[in-house]
Amino acid sequence: MTTQQIKYFLVLAGELHFWKASEKVYVSQSTLSRQIQSLEQEIGIKLFERDKRNVKLTDAGKFLQEKWTVAINELDHIQKQAKKIDQGTSGFISISYPGSIAFSYLPLFLNVINEDLPDLKLELTEPTDERHEKLLLNYETDIAFNRDVINNIHISSFKINTEPICLVTSEKHWLTEKTIINLKDLKDENFIIAGLHKTTYFSSLLRNLFLKNEFEPKTVIESDFGGMILNLVAQELGISILPYSYKFSNVPGVQFIELNEKIDLFINWRKTDPNKTTQKVIELAKTINSYKKYKSK
């Protein structure tokens, strides 16, 4: 029994059609059929019920489909990780991050990495924040920057920094740091913010903020993309609430008014990751506090 035979089985189990499955694995139907028959003979288990028109899994086949899917995925994860370890400092590391740090922390971090590990290849991904945990556990990313701690026994977290969240308005707006008294003053304003119904950390923070100030915002546009939100605010289509880091995007025509609320930035990684390069990158990340650096300018 080979891993290739198991992969052939899993594709056929998903398609339940020899022609479609053979196209997916780039072999002929006859080759695929021989491989499946050989697998059945070796393990002594009938995996499929076949006739001229239909292919369906036996109960034993369904059981092995579930178990072998997990096993093959785990094997793929192990091989990917072994390859990264073998490549060392000239290898490859994938990093996921929230969009807000693209203008502050991330450029500083990448500059430090480039100086200390110039041959290291990085892959950057900007998913929604609830996906970072899944990406780490599936070995699709090695390091995840996130706005909250990932509570999982297989993941370690470290707080990088804390920064305020800000009210963001057009420079032509009547609001200033002096004119705003409390958020209740904004109950009639048009808001451009992340959807409050979502399960992301920032949406939860906004819900609690509005609840504390006893009003529901008049949301005219929902978006999770801070860069787009800033451009819409600059065009006077509404106001928003974003992390302070977005100030360094230097979008013209907007102003940032700090609120009495804070947001954190964490770095998260797999506890059992043996890649020494990943650990080196994590240690370098811990040395950078972009918020303090930019505030001191």
Question: pLDDT for 100-126, tens place per residue?
Answer: 899 889 999 999 999 988 878 888 988
Tokens of 280: 């080196």
| Alpha-carbon gap, residue 266 to 162, rounded angstroms | 9
Please identify, in words, the CATH class of the domain defined by 3-86: mainly alpha
> pLDDT-derived band of residue 130, with 50, 70 and 90 as boundaries?
low
User: How many residues are there in the chain?
Assistant: 297
What was the pLDDT predicted at 75? Answer: 85
> pLDDT-derived band of residue 238, with 50, 70 and 90 as boundaries?
very high
Tokens of 155: 């993941």
Average pLDDT over residues 40-62: 86
| Alpha-carbon gap, residue 155 to 133, rounded angstroms | 8
What was the pLDDT predicted at 80? Answer: 72
DSSP state of 103: G
Q: Is 51 exposed, middle or buried (0-12, 13-18, 19+ CB in 10 A)?
A: exposed
Would you say the pTM of this structure is higher than 0.85? no
Average pLDDT over residues 39-45: 89
Q: Is the pLDDT of residue 53 over 80?
A: no
Sign of the alpha-carbon dihedral angle for 84, 85, 91, 96 = positive
Q: Is the pLDDT of residue 163 over 90?
A: yes
> pLDDT-derived band of residue 164, with 50, 70 and 90 as boundaries?
very high
Q: Are 258 and 244 in contact (CB under 8 A)?
A: yes
Average pLDDT over residues 135-147: 90
Please identify, in words, the CATH class of the domain defined by 162-263: alpha beta
Question: What are residue 123's DSSP bridge partners?
Answer: 94
Q: Are 132 and 250 in contact (CB under 8 A)?
A: no
**CATH fold of 89-161+265-295:** D-Maltodextrin-Binding Protein; domain 2 (3.40.190)
115-138 core/surface letters (b: 16 or more CB in 10 A; e: else): eebeebebeeeebbbebbbebbee
> pLDDT-derived band of residue 237, with 50, 70 and 90 as boundaries?
very high
Strand-pair category, 55-57 with 92-96: unpaired
| Alpha-carbon gap, residue 47 to 140, rounded angstroms | 31
CATH 1.10.10.10 residue window(s) in the chain = 3-86
> pLDDT-derived band of residue 285, with 50, 70 and 90 as boundaries?
very high
- Tracing tokens 């028109």 back to the chain, one arrives at 53
CATH 3.40.190.10 residue window(s) in the chain = 89-161+265-295, 162-263
